């Protein structure tokens, strides 16, 4: 895709970092499609030597904007439980109509938003003057959507997805990442631009910088007396004693803890990764590969660690019932 590559001026990279980066952890979109789903998936890049997750730098942003890599941005900074922006992802039929409707009503509230086109619909962005609590952002945006009768995605039900997707992050979690704007979508082999400025990286950043940002005072006023719509509250965490019942030996075997459908592909059984599933990822159900020959060997394509997977199935490494 050489014609898609561009040169990003330093000021664009710095402005992008300031506007979009709220935590240093990030994801990368795969260059090649997943062998099972044929989709370009996201994973957490790691340092080859140390195995540590890579931290975002200005150079990461430069490579993303120029088109060499494509990154996903996490919404919530766990240290503050705040977000720097809200992004509304809609990719169903009539998605753009719903996004334009939202944008209209945001403006009635004095909130400016920017529409970025996407592969199948669009992403509507609201930028914040300072990082604000994820929970408050969700109360405002989800509440408005529901008052307007715009569906909010829950499970398999179609609707808008609001980033941040969580009110707060649990320890060790990252939450959901959204494709960083203005880069190249690997699957579509295309750049998607914001409405409101020409298809030029400097004009786009200039437009985003010029947008009024929502302040904490404004948000507090908009959500006064409101709470998260009850239908959007996360389900109570499940305690699954029946899953433990099958556990007999002293060794952890992932298959004892999987209750999603397995498909055999070559030497592996493939299924939905429990850790990805906790955050609403891996809907195509093929991130987790478990060796048929030795089910003690398993790996998540999206980069979840064994500890994350074990925690997600309710059997963390420290648990006395599961000895490694
Ligand atoms: Zn995973």
Q: From the CA of 78, how far away is ligand 1's center (Å)? A: 19
Residues 183 and 280 in one domain: no
Q: Could you read off the pLDDT of 221-235 as tens digits, one per residue?
A: 999 999 888 877 766
Q: Which CATH number fits the domain that encloses residue 135?
A: 3.90.920
Q: What is the largest CA-CA distance in the chain?
A: 63
3 state DSSP class of 129: strand
Let me know whether 166 and 32 are in one domain: yes
What's the start-to-end Cα distance of the chain, in Å?
46
pLDDT at 126 over 70: yes
Q: Can you name the residues that pair with 190 across neighbouring β-strands?
A: 185
Is residue 169 assigned to a domain? yes
CB 260 within 8 A of CB 269: no
Of 232, 256, 278, which residue sits at a domain end? 232
Q: How far is the CA of 281 from the centre of ligand 1 (A)?
A: 8
CA of 77 from ligand 1 middle (Å) equals 20
Measure 120 CA to ligand 1 centroid, in angstroms: 24
pLDDT of residue 301: 84
Same-domain check for residues 147 and 266: no
Residue 142 Cα, ligand 1 centroid: separation in angstroms? Answer: 27
Quote the ligand 1 centre to 287 CA distance (angstroms).
Answer: 6
- Please tell me the distance between residue 304's alpha carbon and the centre of ligand 1 in angstroms: 4
Distances (CA, A) of 188 to 71, 100, 122, 282: 15, 23, 14, 19
Q: What is the pLDDT of residues 48-94, one digit of tens each?
A: 898 888 999 999 999 999 999 999 999 999 999 999 999 999 999 89
Checking if the pLDDT of 109 tops 80, the result is: yes
Q: How many CB atoms lie within 10 A of CB 57?
A: 12
- In the reported structure, the alpha carbon of residue 141 is separated from the centroid of ligand 1 by a whole-number distance in angstroms of 28
State whether 69 and 194 are in the same domain.
Answer: yes
Cβ contact 119:188 at 8 Å: yes
User: If you measure from the C-alpha of residue 134 to the centroid of ligand 1, how many angstroms do you get, rounded to a whole number?
Assistant: 23
- pLDDT value at position 10? 96
Burial of 242 (0-12, 13-18, 19+ CB in 10 A): exposed
Residue 104 lies in a domain: yes
Using CA atoms in the order 227, 230, 233, 236, what is the torsion angle rounded to 10 degrees?
Answer: 130
Distance 9 CA to ligand 1 centre (A): 35
DSSP three-state, residue 9: coil
Instruction: Mark whether 38 and 132 lie in a shared domain.
Output: yes
Same domain, 117 and 262: no
Alpha carbon of 318 to those of 277, 285, 297: distances in Å?
22, 27, 19
Residue 319 belongs to a domain: no
Q: Tell me, in angstroms, the distance from the centre of ligand 1 to residue 303's CA.
A: 6
CA of 286 from ligand 1 middle (Å) equals 9
Residue-range definition of the domain harbouring residue 290: 241-312
Q: 66: CA distance to ligand 1 center in Å?
A: 28
- What is the mean predicted confidence (pLDDT) over 26-33? 91
């Amino acid at each position: 895709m050489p014609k898609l590559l561009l040169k990003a001026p330093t000021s664009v990279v710095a402005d992008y970092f300031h506007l979009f980066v709220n935590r240093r952890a990030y994801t990368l979109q795969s260059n090649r499609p997943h062998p099972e789903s044929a989709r370009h998936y996201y994973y957490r890049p790691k340092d080859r030597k140390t195995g540590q997750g890579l931290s975002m730098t200005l150079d990461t942003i430069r490579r993303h904007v120029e088109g060499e890599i494509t990154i996903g941005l996490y919404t919530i900074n766990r240290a503050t439980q705040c977000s720097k922006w809200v992004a509304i992802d809609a990719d169903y039929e009539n998605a753009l109509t719903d996004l334009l409707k939202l944008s209209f009503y945001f403006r009635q509230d004095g909130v400016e938003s920017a529409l970025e086109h996407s592969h199948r619909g669009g992403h509507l962005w609201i930028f914040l003057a300072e990082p604000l609590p994820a929970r408050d952002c969700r109360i405002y945006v989800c509440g408005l959507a529901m008052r307007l009768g715009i569906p909010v995605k829950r499970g398999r039900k179609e609707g808008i997805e609001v980033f941040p997707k969580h009110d707060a992050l649990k320890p060790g979690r990252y939450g959901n990442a959204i494709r960083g704007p203005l880069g190249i979508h690997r699957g579509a082999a295309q750049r998607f631009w914001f409405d409101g400025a020409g298809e030029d990286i400097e004009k786009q950043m200039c437009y985003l910088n010029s947008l009024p940002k929502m302040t904490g005072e404004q948000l507090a006023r908009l959500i006064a007396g409101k709470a998260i719509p009850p239908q959007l509250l996360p389900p109570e965490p499940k305690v699954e004693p029946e899953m433990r019942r099958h556990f007999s030996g002293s060794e952890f075997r992932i298959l004892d803890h999987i209750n999603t459908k397995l498909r055999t592909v070559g030497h592996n059984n493939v299924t939905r990764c429990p850790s990805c599933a906790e955050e609403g990822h891996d809907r195509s159900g093929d991130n987790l590969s478990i060796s048929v020959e030795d089910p003690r060997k398993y790996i998540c394509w999206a980069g979840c660690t064994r500890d994350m997977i074990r925690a997600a199935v309710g059997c963390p490494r420290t648990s006395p019932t599961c000895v490694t």
